């Protein structure tokens, strides 16, 4: 079978911090599944404006902002599986990640609406990870926000090991003393590490199952059209 791509998406504005460490842990496990090619993408330092609701994209199929959204979109579209990682900010997603997931579908959907179809069934296999400084600082809400985005984008969400507490995703805790804000405190959270490992492995295994299934159905000519899409913005939104 062909190789498949697993993207680790790190939504922290801090480079190589706790969220990065859990996503990296997950990706290392994902990479043990034969055929998995892994890549980590940090949003730290990227410029992604919030949506201003101008709806110009509905006409032009392009956003009025020339920023890093297209790079984010390229990575997203090219992945077969995605491990999402986000810190908890004010009991939810940080604005950087929220801005990206607000704009992503709204820019793509007009292209399909014009063709009279729904957006494709992307069927990317997704696992979700979050880190908050507090033990119960809003992790479940943050996981739910990422899960909802995955569902809205016609993806497939899996959990990690539920015995490790990863019921709907991995809830890490980074606020250990003495340095409450250290960038690697989450490595002391054994349950989060186990949850990240099992999530990474399961995302890769399930991505492989979906990819193999799609390849067989495509070979038989039985894969419904809505499961087939070409990658890259130039394919869905020609200039
Ligand atoms: C603006 C802001 C808001 C935050 N809000 C919360 C919160 O509501 N709950 C929580 O547990 N931690 C909160 N934190 C702490 C971060 O979630 C925590 O430091 C986490 O480790 C950050 O991820 P990172 O280490 O990958 O950057 C907040 C941090 C910042 C900067």
Over the stretch 75-85, which tens digit does the pLDDT of each residue have? 998 999 999 99
Q: Are 80 and 124 in contact (CB under 8 A)?
A: yes
Please tell me the distance between residue 134's alpha carbon and the centre of ligand 1 in angstroms.
8
Expressed in angstroms and rounded, the spacing between residue 133 Cα and the centre of ligand 1 is 5
Domains defined along the chain, listed by start: 4-236 (3.40.50.360)
For atom 25 of ligand 1, which residue has the closest CA? 18
d(CA 104, CA 107): 6
On whether the CB atoms of residues 126 and 157 are closer than 8 A, the answer is yes
pLDDT computed for residue 83 by the predictor: 98
Residue 138 CB–ligand 1 contact under 6 Å: yes
Instruction: Count CB-CB contacts under 10 A for residue 170.
Output: 36
Q: What is the pTM of this model?
A: 0.96
pLDDT of residue 233: 53
- Ligand 1 within 6 A of CB of 174: yes
DSSP structure class, residue 137? S
Any atom of ligand 1 within 6 Å of the Cβ of 158: no
Q: Crossing angle of helices 95-115/69-78, nearest 10°? A: 70
d(CA 228, CA 239): 21
The answer to whether residues 142 and 95 touch, using CB atoms and an 8 Å cutoff, is: no
Q: Give the Å distance between the CA of 89 and the centre of ligand 1.
A: 5
Instruction: Give the residues of the chain that fall short of pLDDT 70.
Output: 230-239
User: Which ligand 1 atom is the nearest neighbour of the CA of 90?
Assistant: 8
């Amino acid at each position: 079978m062909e190789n498949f791509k697993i993207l680790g998406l790190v939504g922290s504005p801090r480079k190589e911090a706790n969220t990065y460490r859990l996503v990296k842990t997950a990706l290392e496990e994902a990479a043990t599944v034969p055929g998995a090619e892994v890549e980590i993408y940090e949003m730290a330092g990227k410029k992604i404006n919030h949506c201003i609701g101008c709806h110009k994209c509905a006409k032009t199929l392009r956003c009025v902002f020339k920023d890093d959204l297209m790079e984010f979109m390229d990575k997203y579209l090219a992945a077969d599986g995605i491990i999402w990682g986000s810190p908890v900010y004010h009991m939810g997603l940080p604005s950087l990640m929220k801005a990206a997931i607000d704009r992503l579908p709204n820019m793509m959907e007009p292209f399909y609406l014009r063709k009279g179809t729904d957006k494709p069934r992307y069927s990317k296999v997704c696992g979700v990870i979050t880190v908050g400084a507090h033990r119960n600082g809003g992790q479940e809400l943050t996981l739910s926000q990422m899960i909802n985005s995955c569902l809205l984008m016609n993806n497939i969400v899996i959990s990690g090991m539920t015995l490790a507490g990863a019921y709907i995703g991995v809830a890490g805790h980074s606020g250990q003393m003495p340095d409450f804000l250290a960038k690697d405190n989450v490595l002391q959270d054994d349950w989060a590490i186990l949850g990240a490992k099992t999530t990474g492995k399961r995302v890769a295994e399930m991505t492989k199952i979906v990819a193999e299934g799609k390849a067989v159905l495509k070979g038989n000519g039985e894969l419904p059209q809505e499961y087939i899409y070409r990658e890259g913005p130039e394919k869905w939104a020609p200039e």
